[in-house]
Structure 1
Amino acid sequence: MFWIIMEDQYMHTYIILFLLILLSLDCTALDTIYANQDIKDGKATLVSDGETFELGFFSPGKSNNRYLGIWYKKISHGTVVWVANREQPITDTSGMLKLSRHGNLVIRSGGNPMVWSSNSTGDTFLPGMKIGKDLVTGLQWCLTSWKSPDDPSVGEYRNIHDTNGYPQNLWWHGEILQGRLGPWNGLGFSGSPVEKENQIYSPEFIMNEKEIYTAYQLKSRVLQRVVLTWDGKTLILQWIERIKDWIVYANAVVDICDRFSLCGPFGICSINKHPPCICMKGFEPRNREEWEASDWASGCIRKKPLQCGNGSGDGFWKIARVKVPDTRRVWYNVSMTLKECEMTCKGSCSCTGYTSLDIRNGGSGCLLWLDELLDTREYEADQDIYIRMAASELEGLVDSLSNFNKKKRTLIVVLLTSTAMLLLFAVAYACRKIRKTPHMKGQGNWYALDAKNTSLQMEQLDDLQCYSLHEVARATGNFSISNKIGQGGFGPVYKGVLKDGREIAVKRLSETSQQGLDEFKNEVICIAKLQHRNLVKLLGYCAHQNELILIYEYMTNKSLDWFLFDETRSLMLNWPQRFKIIHGIARGILYLHQDSRLQVIHRDLKAANILLDGDMNPKISDFGLARNFVGHDTITKTKKVVGTHGYIPPEYAVHGRFSIKSDVFSFGVLVLEIICGKRNREFFHADHSDNLLGHAWRLYKDGRSIGLLSASLQASCVVSEVLRSIHIALLCVQHHPEDRPTMWSVVLMLVGEGPLPKPKPPAFFTEESYNELESLPSVDECTITVLYAR
């Protein structure tokens, strides 16, 4: 219990008013502000803009310490939004909150006259609160993380609105700058999507002689909060009454390009390019050897030096649609035009680039960079930047562009002339084709053509949307190569955006693919009936004449192999993340084998088919080769062996027999690859010719399994978890399927601590053991769909 000492009958209201001021809420916008007349159970109730909060002492998580805090009263018991004495916890129940006649709010405990006074930060950003700086008092409002879920004292992470140069939001881990949200450009923050149809919240930026801050207001009656978690994630959380829980509405860090200055000075990051870093026009890698090894930190340098002051006159090259560089070393003027901004930049030898401050109505204001350009990225926004360049270099680029345009015009004339005669024939042929082609009918049915040009009809799929080819083409920029994000056995994969703003991944059947209508139908029917947090979600499909297209939810972090087998990106996957991925994959496979309505054998589990969402949660994808089965011991035989070498077990590769133990084998290979960071088939060791399975087995027999661990994981690993995971993987890749555990046993072993059975030698553990497969075509990482067993 605690006491609130009231020195007059209205003091409880003053407490609430004072706390609201601490939280930087705009009290004038509130409908009602009041406290209960009676303080019961050590809590005071307040209502802010219709939402009810409680003020009182609490103990977070498993801690026995006591803290004064504010939390939601009517929903989500224990969701704390503000903590007073973060650094001075009370160790007993003698806590006392007092507001004196002089307006000082203090917490006292026992003999300690003052545990806390009213000046603190928090980890939660509520509507109406401010992040920024009071220019009169020097007070700064920022977000600071807790140390742990059980300890609300100030942690290692903080989000601030930095007022150096031109204000912008920065995310820090200790003294390391991790990322930033670009400056306000009139419509939103540079580097953040402008959600024109956002009906939930509206961001705002205020800068005057008294204060600089950002805030946001809710437009609808939803409950939303921004939280800086103890492990450094900035999450927008929204309360869903139906499930009585908070869901992640958005994550501040979306992809690898959100990492601060990934591409170094004068580099540009593009999530649609592989690798993501390129140099700006007129620049080249500072250290080409490091750059080609995917270490871009040293950035880029000019090919030709600037001639400022020599009368030659430097020029500017426009880079369109970008998140502007770091603005801590800039000069700005809010009243200049863009032309005046250019002249000002040209008149200063230290100016490296310029842009408009406000991009509304054609642009206004001036922002000049006076140093290296850091943390620039391509972005789907309306902001451009103009980069200073030597006149001779600029002339070369202009001439190159001019020659390109001349060739382009000539080519267009030739193409128009050569195709004019063909156009009439094409139109006539198309008209005849349309009359003979069956069309889509109804909501749930679709028709496509098989090799014999006959119509095939799918069963009703009421819970899946059938998209028109026009919708899909519009979403992907007519299947633009700039939107291509991958390539698989089925065909290319494109990133797209639907009309309602949802991001999607579009998988389009390639003309050269050895998969086809059967695999397309199989995936649509199969995955439409599967729902699990570790399976990718199919949103719909498109079947128009010979176009077969699958539409999935978009995974911001792409696939596991994109991280795992890249020397630089693999550093972003520490051991806790990899162990979490192993668990997620195991649970997903268990669902397929045992808990789903269909009972499915995937048959093509590999790192490329494990997608990662914004929180690095794994999701199994690509069900084109999956098969239904009945019973755990069912073994099926086929003449058409499908899958990927390095992941398929011997009984399947050689004899065409597959079962749930085939997926168990693939899972075991995946686990070893996740631990080692190397592909099974591409693994090389100077002392022997074993593949990854053989190397793991060799180390296990010698009692040196920890030697399999990637060097990048040594600082973050839990040795017992690593050794247990390797042991389980070796059980999964044993030669005979009857020796391998079920996925149910695998999941239990991963979460348990008991003794494990001794594994037998794995299959295909030396290069020699692959000899019997050498006559089979295609041994790369592409999916095999026409291998026949001998």
Structure 2
Amino acid sequence: MARLRHNWSELVPPLLAFPLLLPPHTLILFLPPLTLHILWPLSLSLSLSLSLSTMASAGVSKRPLIPPLLFVLCSILCFLSSRAVDTLRPGESLRDTDTLVSSGGVFELGFFSPGGYSSSNHYLGIWLKNDPNKKPVWVANREYPIIGSSGFLTIRYDGNLVITDRRRVPIIINPGMLAASSNTSAKLFDSGNFVLTEGKMIVWESFYFPSDTFLPGMKLGWFNLATGPIREQFLVSWQSPSNPATGSFSFGLHKINRTELKVWVGESASRSIGFWDGQRFKFLYESSLGELNFSYVSNLNETFLTFNTGTNNRTSWFVITSSAEINEFTMIRQEITMVNYSFCNGSLTVNAAECSKIKPPACQDGDRFLEMTGLMPNSSVIIESVQLGLSDCEKMCSNNCSCAAFASFRDDGTECALYYGDKNILLDIATEGNGTIYIRGDFAKKSGKPYSSY
């Protein structure tokens, strides 16, 4: 443990002028000849020495100095101990009893045991600091628990985040996104995002790998579609309320129709719970979601859904549970409320077959499409996959009542173009081209002919 030694008479002014960080659980030792040792939880130490002989030679009495000096020291240390640490740096360690706290005191990162004292499994997680239950919104090592309270988090010699316990088997938190040098640091932000940076470059962030919780600012979707390798971000439930290992249920944008938000059980049955209508995201259940600002972004390289609360006085988040329910949490000040949304009149596990067969309600604009010669608007959503045929395009459009028209995007009949905009605008420009498009029946001109792939 490295120690920095300074003459106290030289260090008092800087200490008073610059707010050093001294986390909770700091051990303070007074050793002769009045040396103050501050043992930092993050494997840092500071040793401050006062040379009484020097002060005595200057005509300063030794005895009367001690009480005032101790008072000054205690005042400074009490102030410093109230300051939270939000960043982990090379050579520092976060042990089982230590935590990082975001600068605004919103989120906290540390080790936890979901089974309480009855469980020997410990995990590194992030939770809302004011949540009395300390329910983690993100878990780093959900598949690899550490044993007991011997674990610690550190930035290793190669710049990567590593969890280790008494078995000395390293668990790298950021595999696949490794640092190129040891010049890294990791910071916990007020958004709940834990970010590893190398200089000004982001190496890895926890928002890239969500657990079971959708936080404001987090993105669910598909990334690096053009540059590769393709990365998907989605939620996966816990295995049980006391086991954060990956469970049976996932929550995210559909792989093919990326305008649709779904819940899956395994890789088979699924239930649509929302969709992008071209202007805003709509959910198939009533909630307070109208008070949240959802954004949908789709371009050649990425497609994702995100949201924010629009106010600093409120924090909202969503959790996909181990019983296939979605819990919407809202915290205003320190009061947390929850709304529960169930699917299929019960658990998705019990009614998996029924859930996969559920059809959306009949659209007031009709469920059939008319074939016309025309041009799809530039604002159409493009679903790029050569595996998609015209019948796939029809199914995706017919399952979303806000979809007014569809067409094959490529000349060979693959990929899809879906239009969610104003139908009247569509009808005004549809005849300007010579391609083949399919418009939902009640909006097509009478000159169109019925189309069905069935």
Q: So what's the TM-score if we normalise by structure 2?
A: 0.51
Query: What RMSD in Å do the two structures reach over aligned CA positions?
Result: 5.3
Letter of the 2:148 counterpart: D
Give, in whole Å, the separation in 1 of the partners of 2:148 and 2:210: 23
Aligned 1:22-421 pairs, distance under 5 A? 34-35=86-87, 42-47=97-102, 50-62=104-116, 63-118=119-174, 120-135=209-224, 136-192=228-284, 200-220=291-311, 221-239=313-331, 244-248=335-339, 251=341, 253=343, 269=361, 329-330=392-393, 356-359=419-422, 362=425, 385-386=440-441
* Between structures 1 and 2, the one with greater strand share: 2
For the residue of structure 2 that corresponds to 1:330, the secondary structure is helix
State the shift of 1:130 in Å.
1.0
Letter of the 1:45 counterpart: L
Given that residues 43 and 54 in structure 1 are in contact (C-alpha distance below 8 angstroms), is that contact kept between their aligned partners in structure 2?
Answer: no
Give, in whole Å, the separation in 2 of the partners of 1:228 and 1:95: 28
Give percent identity, aligned residues only. 24
For the residue of structure 2 that corresponds to 1:176, the secondary structure is coil
State the shift of 1:217 in Å.
0.8
Letter of the 2:112 counterpart: F
For the residue of structure 1 that corresponds to 2:323, the secondary structure is coil
Residues 87 and 184 from structure 1, CA distance in 2 versus in 1: closer, same or farther, beyond 3 angstroms? same
For the residue of structure 2 that corresponds to 1:80, the secondary structure is coil
State the partner residue of 1:763.
none
> Residue by residue, what CA displacement relative to the aligned partner does 1:131-156 show, whole Å, maximum 9, x if unpaired?
11221342221100001111000001
State the shift of 1:175 in Å.
2.2
Residues 267 and 105 from structure 1, CA distance in 2 versus in 1: closer, same or farther, beyond 3 angstroms? closer
Residues 65 and 270 from structure 1, CA distance in 2 versus in 1: closer, same or farther, beyond 3 angstroms? same
Residues 263 and 252 from structure 1, CA distance in 2 versus in 1: closer, same or farther, beyond 3 angstroms? closer
Give, in whole Å, the separation in 1 of the partners of 2:294 and 2:168: 42
Given that residues 155 and 161 in structure 2 are in contact (C-alpha distance below 8 angstroms), is that contact kept between their aligned partners in structure 1?
Answer: yes
Give, in whole Å, the separation in 2 of the partners of 1:314 and 1:210: 31
Aligned 1:287-686 pairs, distance under 5 A? 329-330=392-393, 356-359=419-422, 362=425, 385-386=440-441
Residues 253 and 65 from structure 1, CA distance in 2 versus in 1: closer, same or farther, beyond 3 angstroms? same
> Residue by residue, what CA displacement relative to the aligned partner does 1:263-316 show, whole Å, maximum 9, x if unpaired?
9999663599xxxxxx9569xxxxxxxxxxxxxxxxxxxxxxxxxxxxxx9679
Letter of the 1:358 counterpart: G
Aligned residues: 297
Residues 137 and 265 from structure 1, CA distance in 2 versus in 1: closer, same or farther, beyond 3 angstroms? same
> Residue by residue, what CA displacement relative to the aligned partner does 1:581-623 show, whole Å, maximum 9, x if unpaired?
xxxxxxxxxxxxxxxxxxxxxxxxxxxxxxxxxxxxxxxxxxx
Residues 171 and 215 from structure 1, CA distance in 2 versus in 1: closer, same or farther, beyond 3 angstroms? same
> Residue by residue, what CA displacement relative to the aligned partner does 1:341-393 show, whole Å, maximum 9, x if unpaired?
67x57999989x98623349946999xxxxxxxxxxxxxxxxx944999x999
Give, in whole Å, the separation in 2 of the partners of 1:76 and 1:145: 21
Give, in whole Å, the separation in 1 of the partners of 2:448 and 2:337: 54
For the residue of structure 1 that corresponds to 2:131, the secondary structure is coil
Letter of the 2:222 counterpart: K
Q: Which stretches of structure 1, 4 residues or longer, exceed 6 Å deviation after superposition?
A: 3-9, 36-41, 258-267, 345-351, 391-395
Which structure carries more relative contact order (alpha carbon 8 Å, separation 6+)? 2
Give, in whole Å, the separation in 2 of the partners of 1:345 and 1:160: 25
Instruction: Return 5+ residue gaps in structure 2 as ranges.
Output: 1-24, 26-39, 47-83, 176-208, 374-382, 397-401, 431-438
Residues 252 and 362 from structure 1, CA distance in 2 versus in 1: closer, same or farther, beyond 3 angstroms? farther
For the residue of structure 2 that corresponds to 1:103, the secondary structure is coil
Given that residues 222 and 238 in structure 1 are in contact (C-alpha distance below 8 angstroms), is that contact kept between their aligned partners in structure 2?
Answer: yes
Residues 186 and 269 from structure 1, CA distance in 2 versus in 1: closer, same or farther, beyond 3 angstroms? closer
State the shift of 1:88 in Å.
0.7
* Between structures 1 and 2, the one with greater helix share: 1
Give, in whole Å, the separation in 2 of the partners of 1:205 and 1:81: 22
Residues 363 and 349 from structure 1, CA distance in 2 versus in 1: closer, same or farther, beyond 3 angstroms? same
State the shift of 1:170 in Å.
2.1
For the residue of structure 1 that corresponds to 2:256, the secondary structure is coil
For the residue of structure 1 that corresponds to 2:158, the secondary structure is coil
Given that residues 368 and 441 in structure 2 are in contact (C-alpha distance below 8 angstroms), is that contact kept between their aligned partners in structure 1?
Answer: no
Residues 107 and 145 from structure 1, CA distance in 2 versus in 1: closer, same or farther, beyond 3 angstroms? same
State the shift of 1:177 in Å.
2.7
State the shift of 1:46 in Å.
2.5
Larger Rg: 1
Q: So what's the TM-score if we normalise by structure 1?
A: 0.31
Given that residues 354 and 386 in structure 1 are in contact (C-alpha distance below 8 angstroms), is that contact kept between their aligned partners in structure 2?
Answer: no
State the shift of 1:255 in Å.
7.0
Letter of the 2:98 counterpart: K
Instruction: Return 5+ residue gaps in structure 1 as ranges.
Output: 10-31, 273-278, 283-312, 317-325, 333-337, 367-383, 396-790
Give, in whole Å, the separation in 2 of the partners of 1:360 and 1:127: 32
Give, in whole Å, the separation in 2 of the partners of 1:347 and 1:99: 49
For the residue of structure 1 that corresponds to 2:277, the secondary structure is coil
